[in-house]
């Protein structure tokens, strides 16, 4: 056993989960664990933790690691994912130090409170459509950016759902897209199909034409609907999709997040009297409470109008 036994357990740990998780999830867990262990190595060299042998690591070691993450102002979601990944490999290695730490120091477990935030304003969505009409329809990178952002808005896709979509997931006969890599895909999540609205279909067609031409010119092949331009033409990273979004933000003079696009998707259907249950299914939510609580809710003025004269 070397100086960093926890690191040596990554490969056997991931092998033990073979068949239980997708390759994408496996890569994400491996990436996270390697980053965690890299940070712990630095802490070990500074005597900020006592050991990197799972059976010798203490709840205080875990506490010190989590405190360094908190001091770096890492998001609560990211810390929660760190806790989950670390707990899994530690338990696999015969240690319950992570669980003991959270019992001794319950305040370290992040409180992941969600609140209903406003959707992307309709005016911004309309600006994006207008800017596309004025843009160069032969510029592959520009058309790709407009197509990707408007697909996020008009299909309600989560970041990973669209960036991991394949060309075969797009059905131009009935204008739908199939999202296979959904949130919770290894547990509760279920793949779903969403219609592509008529208003962006010409843009999607133009993007596909330029996509084909780009690959021919660059002698490339790709299964990804929106591929990276790194020479491998594989699926893009989350960071790449955010960089592409900046092109649109600059074009319309507005900043927004992809989750704002998803909220607009749900809110427009609610505003157009689509049943909450149907909107929840289209958004890939397991419960309507999630849709109603955090993404889309009937406006007060609409509720008053619908209730008028019915007392």
Protein fold of 122-305: hpI Integrase; Chain A (1.10.443)
pLDDT of residue 304: 62
Whether residue 156 contacts residue 295, with contact meaning beta carbons closer than 8 Å, is answered with no
pLDDT of residue 122: 96
> Looking up tokens 């520009």, which residue turns up?
142
Please, where are the H alpha helices in the chain? 5-8, 10-16, 23-45, 59-71, 76-92, 97-104, 122-134, 140-155, 159-163, 201-217, 238-252, 258-271, 276-283, 288-290, 300-307
- The end-to-end CA distance of the chain, in Å, is 75
Distance separating alpha carbons of residues 195 and 177, to the nearest angstrom: 6
pLDDT, tens digit (0-9, with 9 covering 90-100), for 186-233: 778 899 999 999 999 999 999 999 999 999 999 999 999 999 998 899
133: Cα within 13 Å, side-chain hemisphere: 8
Distance separating alpha carbons of residues 79 and 156, to the nearest angstrom: 26
pLDDT of residue 301: 66
Whether residue 296 contacts residue 269, with contact meaning beta carbons closer than 8 Å, is answered with yes
Query: What SS3 class is residue 297?
Result: coil
Report CA torsion sign: 214, 217, 223, 228: negative
Give which of 177, 172, 164, 171 is closest to 222, Cα–Cα.
Answer: 164
Residues of the chain with pLDDT under 70: 1-2, 112-115, 299-308, 310-311
Q: Which residues of 44-60 are buried (b: 16+ CB within 10 A; e: fewer)?
A: beeeebebbbbeebebe
Distance set, CA 105 to CA 55, 66, 67, 76, 306 (Å): 20, 11, 11, 16, 50
pLDDT of residue 305: 66
Please, where are the H alpha helices in 105-200? 122-134, 140-155, 159-163
pLDDT of residue 25: 80
Beta bridge partners of 42: none
Phi and psi at 235, nearest 5°, equal -65, 145
pLDDT of residue 186: 74
pLDDT of residue 297: 78
CA angle at 159 for the pair 26 and 274, rounded to the nearest 5°:
125
Report CA torsion sign: 215, 217, 220, 226: negative
């Amino acid at each position: 056993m070397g100086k960093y036994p926890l690191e040596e357990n990554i490969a056997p740990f991931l092998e033990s989960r073979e068949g239980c998780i997708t390759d994408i999830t496996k890569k994400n867990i491996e990436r996270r664990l390697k980053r965690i262990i890299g940070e712990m190595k630095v802490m070990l060299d500074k005597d900020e933790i006592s050991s990197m042998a799972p059976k010798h690591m203490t709840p205080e070691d875990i506490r010190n690691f989590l405190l360094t993450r908190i001091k770096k102002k890492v998001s609560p979601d990211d810390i929660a994912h760190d806790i989950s990944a670390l707990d899994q490999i530690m338990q696999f290695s015969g240690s319950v130090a992570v669980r003991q730490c959270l019992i001794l120091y319950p305040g370290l477990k992040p409180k992941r409170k969600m609140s209903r935030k406003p959707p992307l304003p309709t005016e911004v969505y309309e600006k994006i459509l207008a800017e596309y009409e004025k843009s160069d329809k032969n510029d592959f990178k520009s058309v790709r950016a407009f197509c990707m952002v408007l697909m996020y808005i008009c299909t309600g896709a989560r970041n990973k759902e669209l960036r991991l979509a394949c060309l075969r997931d797009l059905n131009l006969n009935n204008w739908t897209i199939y999202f296979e890599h959904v949130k919770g895909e290894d547990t509760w999540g279920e793949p779903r199909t969403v219609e592509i609205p008529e208003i962006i279909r010409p843009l999607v067609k133009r993007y596909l034409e330029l996509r084909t031409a780009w690959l021919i010119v660059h002698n490339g092949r790709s299964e990804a609907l929106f591929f990276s331009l790194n020479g491998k033409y594989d699926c893009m990273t989350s960071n790449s999709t955010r960089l592409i979004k900046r092109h649109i933000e600059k074009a319309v003079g507005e900043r927004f997040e992809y989750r704002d696009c998803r909220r607009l998707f749900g809110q427009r259907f609610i505003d157009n009297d689509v049943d909450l249950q149907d909107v929840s299914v289209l958004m890939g939510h397991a419960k309507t409470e999630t849709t109603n609580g955090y993404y889309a809710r009937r406006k007060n003025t609409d509720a008053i109008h619908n209730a008028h004269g019915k007392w």
